[in-house]
Structure 1
Amino acid sequence: MTKTKLRLGLVFPGGGCEADFYRFERDTGEAVRVYFAQARYGAVEGADHHPDALRETARVDWIAQAAHRLSQVPLDALVWACTSGSFINGRRFAEEQARGIAAATGVPTTSTSLAFAAAAHALSARKVSLLATYPQDTVAFFTSFLAEYGIAVETSRSLGFDSGWISSGFDGDALMRAAEKAVAPGTQALLIPDTALPTLDVVDALEKRLGLPVLSANAVTLWHGMRTSGRVVPVNGLGTLLADFGQMPAA
């Protein structure tokens, strides 16, 4: 008997990194299907990574409005697939944001920032390095968010991109070089936020080069989306989290 496909709904602002999610879908043998909806997002003089812009992007009504466009799909879980639009107002807001989206849609919901916290805890990574696309003032909000979950950022590197559209054009070779410079000795994982940033083509190679787990926004989004659905599908070649830790019992 053919197993029912796991259906994940991904709501995100902007775009540019759909190929990562389609690669994951392909590598599961289409055991997992992904469905997209684009939400409205804020901008300050064209900068969507500005903290004030992100507070607009984080609006539950905007996210839920986008999610309702997926209402004809029987989703198993929904992910607000935006790191900065979920961490910007801190832990309590991020948790309430996910509950608000779930209440509005009737679908179990998480977000990329909540996924980062869950993934770091699953790996027992309490001291981490951070490579962030965002300007430094926005990076500080993510650092504070992680601290609320007992995760200490030992060192961080900001690429200073003021828009997700810039992140989406950052190539894999440049990402590998930047990641090598971001890691501090003694840290237990490298975190790379921003779902607009393509990572799944390089995360496996990057882990081998660095000798530690790499948690990218798109990897944690998919991993925690599956766990939120109550069913996980392990996938090889896309990093430690989606392979070994994909086999952990769902939370």
Structure 2
Amino acid sequence: MTALGFLYPGHSAEDDYPRIEQLLGSDVRLDLVHTETGEDAHRVDVLRQMGAPERLASGVGQLRLAGSEAIVWACTSGGFVHGWEGAQEQVRTLARTAGMPASSTSFAFVHAARELEAGRVAVGAAYPDDVTGLFVEFLRAGGLEVTGVHSAGTGGAAEVGAWGEAEVLALARAADAPAAEAVLLPHTALHTAASLTVLEKELGKPVLTANQVTVWEALRLTDRRLNAPRLGVLFTREPLVQV
């Protein structure tokens, strides 16, 4: 049994994780601990505080007791708002605190795009323009070219968590660009685990979503590769990524 640990802010789309665990169909357990979010707002100051070391550290003990072998900060915006270097320091601090390999959803997107050899990507974000812009800067710092961007401009995670498949599909379509080799939907409050095959069929290309890449990143940290086609093209590829 491989136990993977996730620090998830608040309560929005955490039910994606048991669904993903089921779709993996293997000896993998996904353990999730909720972290404090404070104000539910897509503002840079709020998002930076959401990923503060003390907030992440508060959930580490539970995951360690659960036997987790790796830990991922399951919040895209709570990572990239710190910039590339700041997000790296956030992950290093988390790894030291937890005593195990660690990463975040922000880095998971970069690593997953590299795995798919998708150097050109489009971004469909539920954030306001300024926050989406920080994610685009983060992706560029990771060596990716962003060919299309769409911001839905929602106010917070609760609003995004209430979206259904129709809204997720609309976001992906609005973001897609002909030159993009993959479409990225960067919000762990989005319910996407049940819609990945629909999204990829609709767009005709890989779609990377936050909870999907978060689990994939945790598997990568533990050197596990599983074939799970219902979780998208990402879970059907041989490992390529070099980190």
Alignment of 1:167 with 2:160, yes or no, is yes
- For residue 71 of structure 2, what is the amino acid of its counterpart? L
Which residue does the alignment assign to 1:117? 110
1:241 aligns to what SS in structure 2? helix
Q: CA deviation at 1:30?
A: 4.8
Render the CA deviation track for 1:208-239: whole Å, top value 9, x for unaligned.
11111101001110111100112222212111
Q: CA deviation at 1:250?
A: 8.1
Distance 1:125 1:29 in 2: 27
Q: Which runs of 4+ in 1 moved over 4 A?
A: none
Please tell me whether residue 61 in structure 1 is matched to residue 48 in structure 2: no
Partner of 2:221: 228
Cα contact 1:39–1:66 (8 A) shared by 2:
yes
Given candidates 20, 31, 38, the residue that maps to 1:35 is 31
TM-score by length of 2: 0.95
Amino acid at match of 2:214: T
Please give the secondary structure, in 1, of the residue aligned with 2:137: helix
Structure-1 separation of matches of 2:232 and 2:222: 21
Could you tell me which runs of 5 or more consecutive residues in structure 1 were left unpaired when the two chains were aligned: none
Equivalent residue in structure 2 for 1:52, among 45, 65, 84: 45
Equivalent position of 1:11 in the other structure: 7
Instruction: For residues 21-55 of structure 1, give each alpha carbon's deviation from its aligned partner in whole angstroms, at most 9, with x where no partner exists.
Output: 11111122352111111112243xx52x2101011
Aligned equivalents of 1:78, 1:249: Cα separation in 2: 21
Q: CA RMSD in A?
A: 1.5
| Matched-pair contact (CA < 8 Å) for 2:9–2:35 | yes
Q: Could you tell me how far apart the structure 1 residues matched to 2:74 and 2:171 are?
A: 23
Contact 1:25 1:31 in 2 (8 A): no
Q: Which amino acid letter does the alignment assign opposite residue 219 of structure 1?
A: Q
Q: TM-score, normalised by structure 1?
A: 0.92
Deviation at 1:182, TM superposition (A): 1.6
| Contact 1:228/1:250 (<8 A) preserved | no
Alignment partner of 1:83 is 2:79:
no
Shift in CA distance, 125/220, structure 1 to aligned 2, threshold 3 Å: same
Secondary structure at the counterpart of residue 194 of structure 1: coil
Percent identical residues? 36
Q: How many correspondences in the alignment?
A: 242
Q: Determine the C-alpha separation between the residues in 1 that align with 2:137 and 2:119.
A: 14
Q: In 1, distance between residues paired with 2:26 and 2:147?
A: 38
Residues 126-175 of structure 1, C-alpha deviations (whole Å, 9 max, x = no match): 21111001111110110111110111211111111121111111100121
Q: In structure 1, what is the equivalent of residue 125 of structure 2? A: 132
Task: Quote the Cα distance in structure 1 between the aligned partners of 2:219 and 2:151.
Answer: 29
Q: Which runs of no fewer than 5 residues in structure 2 stay unpaired?
A: none
The equivalences for 1:203-218 within 5 A come to 203-218=196-211
SS in 2 for 1:170: coil
CA 1:141–1:56: 2 relative to 1, 3 Å: same
Q: Which moved more, 1:62-71 or 1:186-195?
A: 62-71
2-structure distance, mates of 1:210, 1:140: 23
